[in-house]
Structure 1
Amino acid sequence: MFEVSPVFYYVIAGYFLMTLVIGYIAGRGNKTSEDHLVAGRSIGPVIGGAALAATQLSAGTFVGTVGVLYLTGASYMWYWPGMFAGWLVSAIWVAPKFQQFKGVTVPDYIEKRYNSKVAKVIAAALIVVAYTVYLVAQYVAGGILMETIFGLPKIWGAIITIGITMLYTMKGGMKATTYSDFIQAIIMAGCFFAAVPILYSQAGGFDYVGRFITELQPTLTGWHWQFKDILGFALAFGLSVAIAPYELARMYTMKSQRTVRLAIGFSFIFQAVIAIAICLVGFAMRSLYPIMNNADAASSIMAVNVLPPFVGALIVVAILAAIMSTVSGVMIVSASAISHDIFGILKPNATDKQKMTINKIATVVLSIIPLIFAIKPFDMVQFIVIVQSSMVASFFFATVVIGLNWKRATGTAALISMLGGVATVLIWYLMQKPFGLNEVIPGVLVSTVLLIVCSYFTKPVPEESLKPFFGK
């Protein structure tokens, strides 16, 4: 714990208050569960693009990625081209068709496209499991942040951060999440980019930092990671972002297909600015603090020890914004998987009010479960995120991308593909990654082969189910 300026308390308290106000105001316009989940399909390209970026830029970016860059250097940045390739896949082959479909949840797509309620329930269950893993990473990051700066036990830091997020998400739904994400994306990009010149003036300048870290450890400016490592990271993030349920759910909120494509373009800008800034932050912190017990604390230590109090407080807010925007998006997607998809199938005559009640209960329960795991020792935040991304890509990439662009894919094949993909990822991970390959590679390969091969031996989907995606 460090001596923290009172400015930190004021700025962070103000930020928490702002998010709660946004949640309250946005929630007043929500009349139905559809309003709650898709924001009235009223979101434009700039706000939508900021929301896409804010949801993607999680604790894995501002805590985990900075920590990995601090430890291993510049070569880790090569996962970003994989991420951007994933966004391009989404913009060309996925997102516009999702927006046109006008569904409410991602499992809605699975049910309609594959004419299978069983596949819908399985997809919803897999979303809940994968995003519970993802929430663990966010909780750990929030705990590290609060512990490093304020000396709070990690569990209490996580509870405070997640509790406030849960409140504004339950009240305001997707509309509150989207508008708060817009503000959060501006805070993330602006604060980290503005911190770079201040940080490097403290560290002795760009030339000094470059020379120092090269002499300290040549691989920091060279190649720490092997090609297969970088390929695994890039595929894990790229394949998952192309079909990430918490991003696809955003597509339903937007006004048109053109809006979706523009929004993805704007999200590129936010993410590119932040990618450059966090790389430079990782280098500077390694120069200023060559030996750090916990690399995930690099961003927090920078905020408290290196930057002026007000700027440091804004950096903390930027990290909290990254955590909270992602957690909010995950809460909505996971809770809707239970209330809209699973409960909706089990009780098809459920009223809208009953679904909203189940949604709120699910939000609370799914917020608490990851806390149980977050208090136990875990690997670095970024590597928890990579495992989760591999799981999502393994069970959704083939069923979404191929399903939207190939009529022959069948419901039975989709079910086998999802289960086979996620089983492969888990087995590969437990076997400690044979041949050094990231688990996403065999996971997506197996799920893709299963979908294609099994489709030729199973009953085709009725033409009526294909019309929303392929026309007449």
Structure 2
Amino acid sequence: MALDLFVVLIYAAGMLVLGYYGMRRAKTHEDYLVAGRNLGPSLYMGTMAATVLGGASTVGTVRLGYVHGISGFWLCAALGMGIIALNLFLAKPLLKLKIFTVTQVLEKRYNPMARQASAVIMLAYALMIGVTSILAIGTVLQVLFGLPFWVSVLLGGGVVVVYSTIGGMWSLTLTDIVQFVIKTVGLMFILLPICLYRVGGWDELVAKLPASSFSFTAIGWDTIITYFMIYFFGILIGQDIWQRVFTARDEKVAQYAGTFAGFYCVLYGLACALIGMAAHVLIPDLDNVNNAFAAIVKLSLPDGIRGLVIAAALAAMMSTASAGLLAASTVLTEDLLPRLRGGKQSSLSLNRLFTLLTGATVLGIALVVNDVISALTLAYNLLVGGMLIPLIGAIFWKRASTPGAIVSMALGFVTALVFMFKDGLDANTPIYYSLAVGLVSFVAVSLLSRKPQGVAARAV
């Protein structure tokens, strides 16, 4: 594995070098948080796709393909369709606002209290997004190189924390482009063809797997619907994704390049599901299905090539980890910290400090959580259950009120937590009940509240 380790170390060093170049470009507060709002089509498409397709999308979809067959692609499909909808229908009004966070929309529509309440939910979501990909990084390094899990987390996650801290969004953009190219080549053009070759070709794959593995609904309609409820809507309101939208030079860049990124996500999901199916044929008795990706890489690829594919996997994971990290830091410095500092806005140095502190927090959480899909589900359940209803109400319902939004956020958030604790992270009940409770409380409290004066739903 020495050659593979050398390739991975070269990749990690390259990410740090790109982080340094990002630091040199991040000269202002706006540069650091949204890359100066000046990305063209290529940079925007690459960074948008890289942000969405991370550890859970890669390791998790391979695991779903191993267990359920081709229908495992629905996780990535829900994410990709969310990206398409966001860029086609919401990017134009969002770009006009010149804001930094999702919660600023709620302040424009309601009041500062709604912004603070929603910021707490968004912070929890962004932290867990970072944790899911750090977990995936740790899993891959642990299985492939035999490192202790905590060492894998600190080494792989440490690289992410460093380049994210020094250059902010410019570092993320530069590293995302390289990561996008590496993971496309490594996973779709190297690992997938080699896995199919090892199996004996497509015909052998069909012959050795049950027919249900090739059904696009084998995973179950309830699971498919839940993926859309959680991930499709989660993409529409997630800080990590909106922050990428804010980097676009104009609405045309967002609409066309963002749509392309969404279709890429769907194709990526199909590729990862097929890799998982091949892994099921080649390693039918895998002890831990969470390790399906690392195990198939270790078994199927020769030295050197294996290192490139490991780098491709790390690229997918690091891009999402850094997005979650910067999103959490941005919510802290733009939404929560000014409240404690008497309204004083953050500076470039303060942004860097809180990105570093947020990174340390993410690494700490990753050391005590052990399932990437469950961690991702936790993040999206809290986000969608707590914020989807008030945010849609802010945009489309003139009668929506601040008390209604705050009560809906609080009850939706708590309901999601209660049902995740009661029924488990993989259950459908947390998202359904949290949305139902959030909707009823939002409408009821808004109708009972005094009609807002002079604030129409023009915020977005």
* TM-score, length of structure 1 as denominator length: 0.90
Q: Which structure 2 residues correspond to residues 271-420 of structure 1 after superposition, within 5 A? A: 271-348=265-342, 350=344, 352-353=346-347, 356-376=348-368, 378=370, 380-420=371-411
Aligned length: 458
1:220 and 2:216 correspond: no
Letter in 2 for 1:268: G
1:10 and 2:3 correspond: no
Corresponding residue number in structure 2 for 1:69: 65
Corresponding residue number in structure 1 for 2:240: 246
Aligned-pair CA distance for 1:302: 2.5
Alpha carbons of structure 1 residues 81 and 305: separation in structure 2 relative to 1, 3 Å: closer
Indicate conservation of the 8 Å contact 1:334/1:366, yes or no: yes
Q: Distance in 1 between matches of 2:131 and 2:163?
A: 20
Aligned-pair CA distance for 1:375: 3.1
Secondary structure of the corresponding residue to residue 344 of structure 2? coil
Alpha carbons of structure 1 residues 198 and 364: separation in structure 2 relative to 1, 3 Å: same
Alpha carbons of structure 1 residues 178 and 281: separation in structure 2 relative to 1, 3 Å: same
Alpha carbons of structure 1 residues 221 and 95: separation in structure 2 relative to 1, 3 Å: same
Q: Distance in 2 between matches of 1:70 and 1:315?
A: 18
Alpha carbons of structure 1 residues 421 and 303: separation in structure 2 relative to 1, 3 Å: same
Gaps of 5+ in 2: none
C-alpha deviations, 1:156-197, integer Å up to 9, x for none?
111111111111111111111122112212222222111222
Letter in 2 for 1:444: L
Q: Distance in 1 between matches of 2:187 and 2:240?
A: 24
Q: Which structure 2 residues correspond to residues 171-182 of structure 1 after superposition, within 5 A? A: 171-182=166-177
1:430 and 2:421 correspond: yes
Letter in 2 for 1:398: I
Indicate conservation of the 8 Å contact 2:130/2:321, yes or no: yes
Q: Distance in 1 between matches of 2:196 and 2:385?
A: 41
Alpha carbons of structure 1 residues 91 and 322: separation in structure 2 relative to 1, 3 Å: same
Indicate conservation of the 8 Å contact 1:193/1:273, yes or no: no
Aligned-pair CA distance for 1:352: 4.3
Indicate conservation of the 8 Å contact 2:74/2:269, yes or no: no
Post-superposition, which runs of at least 4 consecutive aligned residues in structure 1 deviate over 6 A? none
Q: Distance in 1 between matches of 2:452 and 2:86?
A: 23
1:128 and 2:123 correspond: yes
Gaps of 5+ in 1: none
Indicate conservation of the 8 Å contact 1:403/1:409, yes or no: yes
Corresponding residue number in structure 1 for 2:438: 447
Secondary structure of the corresponding residue to residue 431 of structure 1? helix
- The equivalent position to 1:210 in structure 2, one of 206, 211, 228, is 206
Corresponding residue number in structure 1 for 2:227: 233
Indicate conservation of the 8 Å contact 1:94/1:404, yes or no: no
Q: Distance in 1 between matches of 2:378 and 2:315?
A: 23
C-alpha deviations, 1:245-269, integer Å up to 9, x for none?
1001111111122222113212123
Indicate conservation of the 8 Å contact 2:212/2:218, yes or no: yes
Q: Greater CA deviation, 187-196 or 406-415?
A: 406-415
1:188 and 2:183 correspond: yes
Corresponding residue number in structure 1 for 2:56: 60
Q: Distance in 2 between matches of 1:10 and 1:375?
A: 25
C-alpha deviations, 1:87-109, integer Å up to 9, x for none?
34323443222111110222222
Letter in 2 for 1:329: A
Aligned-pair CA distance for 1:351: 5.8
Letter in 2 for 1:156: V
Indicate conservation of the 8 Å contact 1:62/1:278, yes or no: yes
Q: Distance in 1 between matches of 2:86 and 2:393?
A: 12
- The equivalent position to 1:111 in structure 2, one of 107, 113, 129, is 107
Q: Greater CA deviation, 83-92 or 146-155?
A: 83-92
Corresponding residue number in structure 1 for 2:96: 100
C-alpha deviations, 1:125-176, integer Å up to 9, x for none?
1122223333332222111111111111111111111111111111111111
Indicate conservation of the 8 Å contact 2:76/2:268, yes or no: no
Letter in 2 for 1:431: K
Indicate conservation of the 8 Å contact 2:80/2:261, yes or no: no
Alpha carbons of structure 1 residues 17 and 107: separation in structure 2 relative to 1, 3 Å: same
Aligned-pair CA distance for 1:335: 0.9
Aligned-pair CA distance for 1:278: 0.5
1:267 and 2:261 correspond: yes
Cα RMSD of the aligned pairs, angstroms, is 2.4
Letter in 1 for 2:118: A
Q: Distance in 1 between matches of 2:425 and 2:251?
A: 42
Aligned-pair CA distance for 1:343: 1.0
1:48 and 2:27 correspond: no
Aligned-pair CA distance for 1:280: 1.2
Secondary structure of the corresponding residue to residue 104 of structure 1? coil
Indicate conservation of the 8 Å contact 1:49/1:267, yes or no: yes
